[in-house]
Structure 1
Amino acid sequence: MAWIVLVLAGMFEVVGVLGMNRLKEKKDKLSWLLLVGGFVASFVLLSVAMKSISMGTAYAIWTAIGTVGGTLVGMLIYGESRQIRRIFFLCLVVGAVIGLKVIGH
C-alpha cells in the first residue's frame, strides 16, 4: 500500500508543477489551487509513504516520478523538445527507480 501512496505522491507533484506552469500564464484561482493543492497533497502522501519505505528510497522515487512526469507533460502538452537524448535519459531515470524497488526498502 505504501508504494501506491508513493506513486500518488509523485503524481500530485506533477499536478503542482502544472499549477506553476499555468500560474506563469494565468494568475487565477485554478492555477493557485493546482499549485498549492498539488504540492500539499504530494508532501502529505510522501510523509505517509515514508512510514513504510526508507527515506532515501521514497525520496528518490518521488522525485523521479515528478521529474519524468513533468518532462512528459511538457513534451506531450506544451510542445517541449522530444529529442531522442531526452527520452534516453528519462529511460535511465525510470531504470534507476526500478532498480531501487528491486533491491529493497
Structure 2
Amino acid sequence: MHWLFLVLAGLAEVGFAFCLGKAKLATDSQAVWWYVAFVSFAALSFYLLNLSLVQVPLGTAYAVWTGIGAAGAAVVGVLAFGDPLTGPRLFFLITLIGSVLGLKAVSH
C-alpha cells in the first residue's frame, strides 16, 4: 500500500508540473485557477509522499518520487507543451524509468 502512495505522490508531482506549465500560458483570471490547482497537487503530492515513508526508506522514496515526477513532467512536456523529443532525451528518460523500477526491485 505504501508503494501505491509513493506512485500516486509521483503522479501528483506530474500534476503540479502540468498546472505550472498551464498557468504560465494562461491569462490572468485563468492563471489563478491553474495556480490553485498547482498548490492542491503539490499538497497532495507531499501528503502522499509522507504516507509512503511509513514503510519505504526515505532515500528510496525520495528518489522514486522525483524520478516519477521528472519522467512524467518530461512526457507531459512533450505531449501537452510541444517540447522536443530527441533520441538522447528519450534514452535518458528510459534510463530514469529503469532506475526507478530498479529501486523498487531492490527495496525491502
With the shorter chain as reference, the TM-score category is over 0.9
Moved more, 19-28 or 69-78: 19-28
Deviation for aligned residue 1:74: 0.5
Distance in 2, matches of 1:69 and 1:89, equals 13
State the SS of the aligned residue for 2:85: coil
Q: What is the alpha-carbon root mean square deviation over aligned residues?
A: 1.0
Deviation for aligned residue 1:17: 0.7
Is the counterpart of residue 32 in structure 1 residue 35 in structure 2? yes
Contiguous gaps of at least 5 residues in structure 2: none
**Structure 1 match to 2:21:** 21
**Structure 1 match to 2:75:** 72
Percent of pairs identical after alignment? 37
Deviation for aligned residue 1:13: 0.5
Distance in 1, matches of 2:37 and 2:86, equals 28
Q: How many residues align?
A: 105
**Cα shift readout 1:23-65 (whole Å, capped 9, x = no counterpart):** 2122433202221011000000000001110000000000000
Query: Structure 2 matches for 1:37-52, cutoff 5 A?
Result: 37-52=40-55
Instruction: Give the TM-score normalised by the residue count of structure 1.
Output: 0.94
Aligned-partner residue type, residue 21 of structure 2 = N
Is the counterpart of residue 53 in structure 1 residue 63 in structure 2? no
Instruction: Give the TM-score normalised by the residue count of structure 2.
Output: 0.92
Contiguous gaps of at least 5 residues in structure 1: none
Deviation for aligned residue 1:19: 1.4
State the SS of the aligned residue for 2:81: coil
Is the counterpart of residue 89 in structure 1 residue 87 in structure 2? no
Consecutive aligned runs of 4 or more in structure 1 exceeding 6 Å deviation: none
